[in-house]
């Protein structure tokens, strides 16, 4: 099929699979992408894969490499099995949106959105119809004649998105498309973005450093670290099953502990704990995660540990050293009593304090018991899903 056919008949051939194999990009001696492997299946033509990683890990470089803007030092990038190395940027059929929209200043909305269609010599009447269609998609209907100079930041990003989508690209590449916007606009456009991408039936790869955005928009999230992909998966699976301590901490774990589960008891770095039963504060039953009997490495957020005042006569696990009031709950820091002498003892692990949440406002010095909410813990190193997108 020629590119002209795609537009003449309004037919749209979305990419099925984008695959990066051993991709390496270096600037001089600095290796920015280091034998990176990533497979993005987009079977339904409407999935968003989010690249999430710390500043400088190479997210933008990866997007630029896929777009053809960054030469590879090694490795291959293929779409549906076809190698892209000899295909120049403008022939890849990808739509690209950058952080700072990069619109043609002083030109109209129409001229900006029509740009890719004119480059492909699409007939004039079809251009007008397609521009109207994509402006409708990004909620800017009727704004064709406006100069892009008069647009707000959010509107400019919508025009950039319309421009990228107009030629019906087979893949959309979005590099921090929301990060230049203020919080309210960002949330608004994030919601629209998911709808727009689904309506356009175009798979997208999107860079962000915002965890909430990644969880909200990503069908899959690829966690990047120092030029490599650490783990790929659906957001909920990543949180519940981080592959290693680094991923767990990057995704928000505040403490990582080794435990031995035996029935309703959890023993280990934390001392002895009981597990919250269903309906006791956790929304899931124990069996919803594989907290099976035996050893586990748990990644905890404050929400994973429910802190309660010890009952009279009960020794408790430690005492409150600090408490901060949050809406609807208190975040509490607990100093643990010294426990045991084995491999899970404090002497061995150095674990002295933990963060938890409490419904009551507990004074500093209060003796407390800790209970684990299985709905809010992650199991480190137990991911069964492999490295590809599920
Ligand atoms: N043209 C270049 N020449 C030299 N070094 C570069 C160039 N572009 C990027 N780098 C370096 O490559 C590394 C990765 O940059 P990149 O922009 O891909 O990271 P990122 O994950 O997108 O970061 P951020 O989240 O801060 O945008 C950084 O250390 C950066 O300084």
Model pLDDT, residue 324: 95
Measure 57 CA to ligand 1 centroid, in angstroms: 7
Between the two ends of the chain, the Cα-to-Cα distance in Å is 30
Lowest mean pLDDT among 168-182, 228-242, 295-309, 376-390: 376-390
Cα 215 to Cα 56, 130, 209, 233: the distances in Å are 21, 32, 11, 11
* C-alpha to C-alpha distance for 188 and 195, rounded to whole angstroms: 11
pLDDT digits (tens, 9 = 90+) for 344-387: 555 555 568 889 999 999 999 999 988 888 788 899 998 755 44
Helices and strands in the chain, H and E counts: 10, 20
59-64, Cβ contacts within 8 angstroms, sequence gap of 24 or more? 59/175, 59/207, 59/209, 59/224, 60/175, 60/176, 60/207, 61/25, 61/32, 61/33, 62/20, 62/23, 62/33, 62/36, 62/38, 62/207, 62/224, 63/96, 63/173, 63/174, 63/175, 63/205, 63/207, 64/175
Measure 342 CA to ligand 1 centroid, in angstroms: 45
Task: List the structure tokens of 329.
Answer: 């709950």
Pocket of ligand 1 (CB under 6 A): 27, 30, 32, 53, 55-61, 209
Name the residue at shortest CA distance from atom 28 of ligand 1. Answer: 56
ipTM for the complex shown: 0.95
* Side-by-side strand order, sheet with 30-41: 30-41, 17-27, 74-79, 82-83
* C-alpha to C-alpha distance for 177 and 160, rounded to whole angstroms: 9
Measure 28 CA to ligand 1 centroid, in angstroms: 13
Task: List the structure tokens of 161.
Answer: 């998105």
Name the residue at shortest CA distance from atom 13 of ligand 1. Answer: 56
Model pLDDT, residue 280: 47
Model pLDDT, residue 294: 86
* C-alpha to C-alpha distance for 275 and 376, rounded to whole angstroms: 11
Higher-pLDDT residue of 322 and 291 is 322
* C-alpha to C-alpha distance for 250 and 380, rounded to whole angstroms: 13
Tell which residue, 368, 255, 382, has the closest CA to residue 307.
368
Compute the residue count for the chain: 390
CA of 53, closest atom in ligand 1: 21
Measure 366 CA to ligand 1 centroid, in angstroms: 49
| Bridge partners, 224 (sequence order) | 229
Asked if pLDDT for residue 143 goes beyond 90, the answer is yes
Per-residue pLDDT, averaged over 236-264, amounts to: 89
DSSP 193-242: HHHHHHHHT--EEEEES-HHHHHHH-SEEEEEETTEEEEEE-HHHHHHS-
Enclosing H/E stretch for 97:
strand 94-97
* C-alpha to C-alpha distance for 87 and 84, rounded to whole angstroms: 5
Measure 56 CA to ligand 1 centroid, in angstroms: 5
Tell which residue, 38, 46, 78, 47, has the closest CA to residue 220.
47
Measure 49 CA to ligand 1 centroid, in angstroms: 20
Measure 55 CA to ligand 1 centroid, in angstroms: 8
CA of 28, closest atom in ligand 1: 4
* C-alpha to C-alpha distance for 23 and 72, rounded to whole angstroms: 7
pLDDT digits (tens, 9 = 90+) for 306-317: 999 988 888 778
Name the residue at shortest CA distance from atom 26 of ligand 1. Answer: 55
- In 10 A of CB 172, how many CB atoms? 25
Q: How confident is the model at residue 60 (pLDDT cuts 50, 70, 90)?
A: very high
Tell which residue, 177, 237, 228, has the closest CA to residue 205.
177
Model pLDDT, residue 185: 85
Lowest mean pLDDT among 25-34, 45-54, 151-160, 359-368: 45-54
Measure 59 CA to ligand 1 centroid, in angstroms: 8
The mean of the pLDDT values for the chain is: 85
* C-alpha to C-alpha distance for 285 and 1, rounded to whole angstroms: 53
* C-alpha to C-alpha distance for 341 and 147, rounded to whole angstroms: 72
The pick from 24, 27, 69, 98 for probing ligand 1's pocket by mutation, whose C-beta has the most ligand atoms within 8 angstroms, reads: 27
CA of 207, closest atom in ligand 1: 22
Lowest mean pLDDT among 12-16, 42-46, 222-226, 255-259: 42-46
Name the residue at shortest CA distance from atom 30 of ligand 1. Answer: 56
């Amino acid at each position: 099929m020629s590119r002209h056919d795609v537009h003449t008949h309004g037919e749209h051939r979305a990419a099925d699979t984008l695959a990066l194999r051993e991709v390496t990009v270096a600037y001089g001696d600095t290796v920015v992408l280091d034998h990176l492997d990533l497979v993005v299946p987009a079977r339904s033509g409407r999935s968003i894969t989010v690249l999430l990683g710390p500043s400088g890990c190479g997210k933008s470089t990866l997007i630029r490499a896929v777009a053809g803007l960054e030469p590879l030092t090694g490795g291959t990038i293929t779409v549906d099995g076809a190698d892209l190395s000899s295909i120049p940027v403008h022939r890849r059929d990808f739509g690209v949106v950058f952080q700072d929209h990069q619109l043609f200043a002083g030109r109209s909305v129409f001229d900006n959105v029509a740009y890719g269609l004119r480059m492909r010599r699409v007939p004039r009447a079809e251009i007008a119809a397609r521009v109207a269609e994509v402006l409708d998609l990004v909620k800017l209907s009727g704004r064709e004649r406006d100069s892009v100079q008069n647009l707000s930041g959010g509107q400019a990003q919508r025009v950039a998105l319309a421009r990228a989508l107009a030629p019906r690209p087979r893949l959309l590449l979005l590099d921090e498309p929301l990060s230049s916007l203020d919080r309210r606009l960002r949330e608004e456009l994030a919601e629209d973005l998911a709808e727009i991408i689904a309506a356009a039936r175009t798979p997208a790869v999107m860079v962000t450093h915002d965890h909430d955005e990644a969880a909200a928009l990503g069908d899959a999230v690829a966690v990047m670290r120092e030029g490599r992909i650490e783990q790929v998966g659906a957001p909920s699976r990543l949180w519940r099953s981080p592959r290693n301590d680094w991923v767990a901490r990057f995704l928000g774990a505040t403490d990582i502990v080794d435990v031995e589960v035996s029935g309703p008891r959890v023993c280990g770095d934390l001392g002895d704990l009981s597990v919250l039963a269903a309906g006791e504060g956790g929304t899931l039953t124990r069996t919803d995660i594989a907290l099976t009997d035996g050893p586990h490495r748990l990644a905890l957020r404050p929400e994973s540990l429910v802190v309660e005042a010890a009952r009279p006569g009960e020794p408790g696990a430690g005492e409150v050293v600090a408490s901060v009031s949050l809406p609807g709950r208190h975040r509490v820091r607990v100093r643990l009593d010294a426990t045991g002498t084995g491999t899970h003892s404090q002497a061995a692990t150095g674990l002295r304090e933990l963060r938890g949440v409490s419904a009551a406002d507990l004074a500093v010095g209060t003796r407390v018991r800790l209970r684990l909410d299985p709905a809010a813990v992650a199991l480190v190193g137990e991911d069964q899903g492999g490295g590809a997108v599920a």
